[in-house]
Structure 1
């Protein structure tokens, strides 16, 4: 019974310390600072009491260890000044005190320190950082993700969170321990004779010079290595994410070369790092041997002059032997510290970027929407000098169905992206129901807009989770009805994934790779049907479908459009010919507007495009 129950108190103790720090703090999402200290301080908040306790325990352990060495020296001297008969009678109380320190105090301090570090900090601390960084990155602008590999961003998140933890803990735990321990060693040596301290002081100066030379170089190569590692990972993930394209074009060898180029860059930093490591190892061993010789020679010389006792020499040599082991450990702890500092600095460059599209400080949720949309003098250039959208004015009435027409690059999708605030316009205003969208929260704005795009991206989750993304609180019946309306229910019921999950529980693969383009599109349409937003954006919504399926879904889309404001983009003009109004765009400007019949009669851009699609081009 005792054996079976004995793990329970230990498990309860572990759990108590594991729950002292919340790994998922619900703090406001703010941009991290750009400087190293402020960045680390930003992510340390809420962890301070446990970091302080760790530092105090580290100090107590160092002081206790130094006192043990000092006591060992005094034992040698007291043994030589007593007979076996008188030793215990006069020195027994010292032994009893030291027994308490060795058997109770030291194990207790080490246990508490280990619980604080391993149970409270090492797991929870980096998870707090990952959680907060992830929440911030989820709110980053679309341009941020278009400029970076997804794998590279994820690598930076993981590397930086661990590096912040290691930087803070090594400074407060290891750094504190080393300073207190070495300071105590110097004091103990000096208390016997100040000359016995000189070899230690000389070693310290030489050791500090070695650190000063090696650490900045290790730091620099660590920064380069962190960047090279994330680039290497990003290229590999890019190949895997686009494996269908790689295979279609038979470019396995090209991808090998693309990855190898990044691997070669990474290996270059590894080789430079290892050369420094060899130099540091040899230099450190040489310094340690010189210290051992100098302390032994100085101690024996002072003993021959009767300036120090045998116990003092024993303590000094014991300190040397301890420092010989510690110096290597200190070197690599400091190297790791600066390597982590380099990784944090590298991560700051990717993580602590301001969002180019952000909610105004006084942004309010968008009230229930009727669906009136106004573009007033809107300008947007993607940061270039040439215009993409130039002084554009467009009024869409509530419930009106508008089709945007134009050649590729005319600005149709850009106009939709500005309405969704994926980018902020550079001039003019965009109003929904008379409210400037720059003054409302992005989440409430996008909640009022349903979007079906040409490039349908599904989450690597079940069909059910993908459809319910449109409205997570929808019932099973509502979800199935949305799938039926999108003509998706029948094929969904036939799905089986590699783990044997069926129907709505089947996983769709990364970006929905296990489904055909038409199947992905129908699930995306079901998702938007379920969302049932008052404004609907269709950006080439049926382009991935065959004619028979398109005809069925087109009917359902018309039903979905009832009572909604609709903006539809389609290169296949037959899909938008029945819209209330067609708007022709060219080079970011509106050049014609009207119904299908009116624009055909006008003989402009729309008429030209219609003629090409209805037979002229073919």
Structure 2
């Protein structure tokens, strides 16, 4: 592509030379009083050949752009998305999903536009400038050097002025991404806006961020406009100066009319190219500003990474050990201090405690969504920090409290548990999760799209799809975080059989607010402010008449809402 652009630029800049040759041939034919065509024919063929070359090389370059352009943007998006997926859960808690998606798009577009600016603007100008200078030096060395010096100064000043634009562009890109994130956040929570009649409030809330974007945009555009004024005035002075200088030389009979025409044409063409390049500087630094903003937010060091020599996790007995775990979130408040838990192979344990006591955090640490500040987590005596994250999460099945589905078909959402599962296996899992009945009653059956985050389904339906996915995955370690909280009593009764089947021969950890669902488990851990204050079976804990017995009594008597446990 570089060669094609160079060839096209060379053909374009040689056109004034071909016109000079035509004028010289006409003048010579008139002087010798001979047939004009015989003298002009070679120059006309040169002129035609150059025009044909411009068309040929430009379209060949355009064809390559068609092939490479979309591929380049696709590759940038692919790489950024792949890197983004490697960030820890902590990173995603601190960034808007819409803002991240917008930055990926802007970086992909910025990289492509930056490359095209270099290929189609900067590189052709170098060729144009070089060929023009050689041609003009053949006419008048002093004029050629004067033009070269003037353009060099003009381009350098434009470059340094335009470089300051990058800082403005970076701020503008950040403001645009923030607005995109706010819009996506508002749309995602549109049900809340409707339930609380907050349509006008949401508009006012967004208005503040829109005004910030507008103010930053105005400052950016005004700065760019001042640079354009300098470029316009400087280019106009340069044009007038070169034409006046060429007229002076011609009036002194130091060049012919054809040489004057060629010099003037080359000068005007070169000045216009330099002026265009100066405008491209602004665009170039605007693109790089967008790239810098996106890259600085996305290409941050991964908090949780596989070790260079990380090995796949091999689960044989599914024993789990938490040893001397210390952990705190961003605010620094400790969740766990010197926490120790051992879960035997095939043991079923329940986790209870008030909200914020660390139950879900324990799941997150086991899945390595967060990293403890100190301590070790072992699965079958293998440190989970020494195994690959992929193999770790492939070995654990979790049913979350808030089931979130992809905006894909029901079939795809269930098959997400095991991508190579057959349709029959997916249907069998749905039947065990008591989801098959409502699926086949849907408009498109298993091909029904569920909407963003599964909004087209009820809470209970989403939970049954998540349960079917877990049944299909079928790993030796199972984590249940309020797996039946969104189900009605009848459906929950039916699903208990499916859960019992799913939990068979597995190591299971269960978080439940309804204590009655834990009564059949081997052991129950009672958490309070990140510490295990009681431990034992359901009956043992009731006999101790401690925290668990108190919670059981309150819940059984209806005094304590389940959501507070």
Q: Report the TM-score when normalising by structure 1.
A: 0.86
Query: After the TM superposition, which of the residue ranges 73-82 and 397-406 deviates more from structure 2?
Result: 73-82
Q: Distance in 2 between matches of 1:267 and 1:282?
A: 22
Which secondary structure does the structure 2 equivalent of 1:537 belong to? strand
Query: After the TM superposition, which of the residue ranges 235-244 and 318-327 deviates more from structure 2?
Result: 318-327
The alpha carbon displacement at 1:265 in A equals 1.4
The alpha carbon displacement at 1:111 in A equals 2.4
Match of 1:9 in 2: none
Of the candidates 306, 312, 315, which is equivalent to residue 359 of structure 1? 306
Q: Distance in 1 between matches of 2:558 and 2:68?
A: 70
Report if the CA contact (8 A) 1:371-1:564 is conserved: yes
Query: After the TM superposition, which of the residue ranges 301-310 and 183-192 deviates more from structure 2?
Result: 183-192
Report if the CA contact (8 A) 1:406-1:605 is conserved: no
Q: Distance in 2 between matches of 1:548 and 1:413?
A: 27
The alpha carbon displacement at 1:183 in A equals 3.1
Which secondary structure does the structure 1 equivalent of 2:60 belong to? helix
Report if the CA contact (8 A) 1:284-1:327 is conserved: no
Which secondary structure does the structure 1 equivalent of 2:138 belong to? helix
* CA displacement, residues 547-589 of structure 1 (integer Å, 9 cap, x when unaligned): 2222221232122111111000112211112211001122222
Match of 2:45 in 1: 96
Pair 1:73-2:20 in alignment: yes
Match of 1:544 in 2: 486
Match of 1:111 in 2: 59
Summarize the Cα distance change of 1:357–1:277 in structure 2 as closer, same or farther, 3 Å threshold.
closer
Match of 1:290 in 2: 237
Report if the CA contact (8 A) 2:307-2:386 is conserved: yes
* CA displacement, residues 44-102 of structure 1 (integer Å, 9 cap, x when unaligned): xxxxxxxxxx2222222222222222232243234323335155445644443443333
* CA displacement, residues 224-267 of structure 1 (integer Å, 9 cap, x when unaligned): 11111111111101111111122122221221122212211111
Q: Distance in 2 between matches of 1:375 and 1:282?
A: 67
Gaps of 5+ in 1: 1-53, 497-501
Report if the CA contact (8 A) 1:164-1:344 is conserved: yes
Pair 1:525-2:471 in alignment: no
Q: Distance in 2 between matches of 1:403 and 1:289?
A: 80
Match of 2:379 in 1: 432
Q: Distance in 2 between matches of 1:549 and 1:503?
A: 20
* CA displacement, residues 459-500 of structure 1 (integer Å, 9 cap, x when unaligned): 10111111111112222222222212212111222222xxxx
Q: Distance in 2 between matches of 1:579 and 1:556?
A: 16
Which secondary structure does the structure 1 equivalent of 2:29 belong to? coil
RMSD, aligned α-carbons: 2.0
Summarize the Cα distance change of 1:294–1:230 in structure 2 as closer, same or farther, 3 Å threshold.
same
Q: Distance in 2 between matches of 1:173 and 1:437?
A: 51
The alpha carbon displacement at 1:323 in A equals 4.1
Report if the CA contact (8 A) 2:73-2:109 is conserved: yes
Report if the CA contact (8 A) 1:215-1:338 is conserved: yes
Match of 1:334 in 2: 281
Match of 1:614 in 2: 556
Pair 1:346-2:289 in alignment: no
Report if the CA contact (8 A) 1:470-1:530 is conserved: yes
Match of 2:511 in 1: 569
Pair 1:559-2:506 in alignment: no
Q: Distance in 1 between matches of 2:235 and 2:263?
A: 14
Q: Distance in 2 between matches of 1:161 and 1:617?
A: 57
Report if the CA contact (8 A) 1:77-1:309 is conserved: no
Gaps of 5+ in 2: 561-565
The alpha carbon displacement at 1:354 in A equals 1.8
Report if the CA contact (8 A) 1:381-1:388 is conserved: yes
Match of 2:71 in 1: 124
Pair 1:579-2:521 in alignment: yes
Q: Distance in 2 between matches of 1:144 and 1:446?
A: 19
Q: Distance in 1 between matches of 2:324 and 2:373?
A: 10
Report if the CA contact (8 A) 1:478-1:530 is conserved: yes
Match of 2:563 in 1: none
Match of 1:403 in 2: 350
The alpha carbon displacement at 1:182 in A equals 2.2
Q: Distance in 1 between matches of 2:489 and 2:46?
A: 91
Match of 2:2 in 1: 55
Q: Distance in 2 between matches of 1:319 and 1:259?
A: 52
Of the candidates 500, 505, 515, which is equivalent to residue 447 of structure 2? 505
Matches for 1:98-497 after TM superposition, within 5 Å: 98-103=47-52, 105-117=53-65, 119-197=66-144, 200-201=147-148, 203-204=150-151, 207-208=154-155, 210-212=157-159, 214-323=161-270, 325-496=272-443
Match of 1:13 in 2: none
The alpha carbon displacement at 1:218 in A equals 2.6
Question: Paired residues, what number?
Answer: 558
Report if the CA contact (8 A) 1:152-1:233 is conserved: yes
Q: Distance in 2 between matches of 1:231 and 1:240?
A: 14
Report if the CA contact (8 A) 1:450-1:533 is conserved: yes
The alpha carbon displacement at 1:200 in A equals 2.5
Report if the CA contact (8 A) 2:224-2:282 is conserved: no
Match of 1:85 in 2: 34
Query: After the TM superposition, which of the residue ranges 580-589 and 470-479 deviates more from structure 2?
Result: 470-479
The alpha carbon displacement at 1:169 in A equals 2.7
Q: Distance in 2 between matches of 1:373 and 1:143?
A: 24
Report if the CA contact (8 A) 1:69-1:319 is conserved: yes
* CA displacement, residues 482-535 of structure 1 (integer Å, 9 cap, x when unaligned): 212212111222222xxxxx2211111000101111111111111111111111
Q: Distance in 1 between matches of 2:537 and 2:308?
A: 42
Q: Distance in 2 between matches of 1:335 and 1:63?
A: 25
